Amino acid sequence: MSVNASGWRPEMGDASGGGAVETFTGNRALMLEEPLIFEIGGTARTGVDIDVPAGGASRLGGLERSRPIGLPGLTEPEAVRHYTRLSRQNYAIDLGLFPLGSCTMKHNPRLNERMARLPGFADIHPLQPVDTVQGGLALIHLVGEWLVKLTGMTAVAMSPKAGAHGELCGLLAIRSALEARGDARRVILVPESAHGTNPATAAFCGYAVENIPATAEGRVDLAALQARLGPDVAAVMITNPNTCGLFERDMKAISDAVHAAGALVYCDGANFNAIVGRVRPGDLGVDAMHINLHKTFSTPHGGGGPGAGPVVLSAALAPYAPLPFIERQGDRFVLIEEETAEDHHGDSFGRMVAFHGQMGMFVRAAAYMLSHGADGLRQVAEDAVLNANYVLRSLEDVLDAPFAASGPCMHEALFSDEGMAEGFTTLDIAKGLIDEGFHPMTMYFPLVVHGAMLVEPTETESKAALDQFIGALRSVANRARQGDPALKGAPHLAPRRRLDETAAARKPVLVWREPEVAEAAE
């Protein structure tokens, strides 16, 4: 990357869209350019002065570093500013509406944050004696009880750390249950519209994955599923509501058919926000389902972690639940940690994580549950569905909505790229939305819709916020329909234009090298 003395990079181009205003610094008012930390700091400089201790003999047995460590040295204010500037180049739920479909990017209530920071929760240590953490265990147990009740299931495993991890937990429980009856089934059926983690998890567990087709109206093809069921099928993984934003109306019939064939039903519960308080998946015959606390229960998605993906289990799978888990014994809570207790939880498939889960996320989810109450959670689902239908109906005249004729959507509105001018794609619309100050919607997922755009507003957006988003998307969609050439170059107002995302993914440059060294290597 080339940066001249002023910090201006050639690729910054003309950000104004009109006459270029070149600044000495490369900054554009409050949009501050930020070079790499290696380009500001020097490997020969240091932010702290500590004398090399005298006379200490190395205890590293000759394994000490022989070359300089090569870390950039910055003063404290330089380091603070570097990271603060980078943080301002990010989009966040606290900055604006985040329409990513399937991700349920809802507001993270500040009450949750207050509770999570109470020292009794925040400073808890996983190796503390159980007698000193009774309140913490009681809270994890409480969240688990709510999840079991809301889903109509028998047991819950609180330790999985994300949705995908929960899928792994559910499939391991299913495999254990099948193995316990000496049944080595090897195939998992997954609908075409499934989230990528579903087939990935099945493959990771050693299963062969086969697709179930969808009907023209965007739901699982029950007849095709029934035709494929047989003694080699271990489970089906179904998302309900599905990733086309539609409720699988035949879910009970699907579960009955799967059970009749001796297999089990995994439900991807990432879309639980659409039905929480209104539908209990246990009543639909589900055997295992993960719940993303960072989606439905408002805990932060937070830059990649920490998440929490508890898994609820039916009576058929409860004996195989992973350890550790919390059990109430009278007015005491105990942590069941041993998989060797033959008479007690001896069938557990084992342990997935070192400890019990993400305490801070459990506290936030508990605060969310208790502050909403049962009626409030029901209203969450109703409002999320109402908001999505408002988006769907407000935009279907400018964006093709392939399943709009199937009736109202659930919590997310799905559009395709049909009707755009020649050469204009979903990607152009996404980049245009960046200029409008929005994070783009989920795109090219689900795969069953060409150029898919999946918009999930969630219940936490006001009508005014929805109207502003709808206006922005309508404007960009119209530009794509009319073939506005400027849209092909969007985003014009962001710190960078279009990046080569394929190259970034396929040939990532993860190590910084001195420019001379890098040039010599080319």
Residues lying near ligand PLP in the complex (CB under 6 A) are found at: 102-103, 162-164, 195, 197, 239, 243, 268, 270, 292, 307, 309
Q: How far is the CB of 360 from ligand PLP (least distance, A)?
A: 16
For ligand PLP, the closer of residues 7 and 166 by Cβ is 166
The token pair that represents 448 in the structure block: 């069953």
Instruction: Return the amino acid letter for 102.
Output: S
List the beta bridge partners of residue 8: none
Q: How far is the CB of 268 from ligand PLP (least distance, A)?
A: 5
For ligand PLP, the closer of residues 103 and 178 by Cβ is 103
Q: How far is the CB of 80 from ligand PLP (least distance, A)?
A: 31
Q: How far is the CB of 379 from ligand PLP (least distance, A)?
A: 22
Q: How far is the CB of 152 from ligand PLP (least distance, A)?
A: 20
Give first-to-last CA distance, the chain, whole Å.
13
What are the angstrom distances between the C-alpha of 68 and each of 127, 350, 454, 480?
37, 44, 49, 53
Distance from the Cα of residue 349 to its chain's centroid: 26
Integer Cα distance of 414 and 388 in angstroms: 9
Q: Which residue in the shown chain puts its C-beta closest to ligand PLP?
A: 163
The token pair that represents 217 in the structure block: 């109206």
Residue 446 and residue 193 in contact, taking contact as beta carbons nearer than 8 Å: yes
For ligand PLP, the closer of residues 137 and 385 by Cβ is 385
- The DSSP element (H or E) to which 415 belongs, if any, is strand 413-415
For ligand PLP, the closer of residues 297 and 320 by Cβ is 297
**Contacts with 70 (C-beta within 8 Å, 6 or more apart), sequence order:** 43
DSSP string computed for 182-194: T----EEEEETT-
Name the DSSP letter for residue 398.
T
- The DSSP element (H or E) to which 382 belongs, if any, is helix 359-395
For ligand PLP, the closer of residues 99 and 319 by Cβ is 99
Name the DSSP letter for residue 318.
G
Name the DSSP letter for residue 284.
G
For ligand PLP, the closer of residues 237 and 490 by Cβ is 237
For ligand PLP, the closer of residues 133 and 291 by Cβ is 291
Q: How far is the CB of 83 from ligand PLP (least distance, A)?
A: 25
User: If you search the block for the tokens 């020292």, which residue do you land on?
Assistant: 119
The token pair that represents 314 in the structure block: 């039916």
Integer Cα distance of 198 and 102 in angstroms: 14
Q: How far is the CB of 163 from ligand PLP (least distance, A)?
A: 2
Beta pairing, strands 413-415 & 442-443: unpaired
For ligand PLP, the closer of residues 164 and 361 by Cβ is 164
Q: How far is the CB of 290 from ligand PLP (least distance, A)?
A: 7
Q: How far is the CB of 171 from ligand PLP (least distance, A)?
A: 13
What are the angstrom distances between the C-alpha of 64 and each of 45, 333, 336?
21, 48, 43
For ligand PLP, the closer of residues 240 and 394 by Cβ is 240
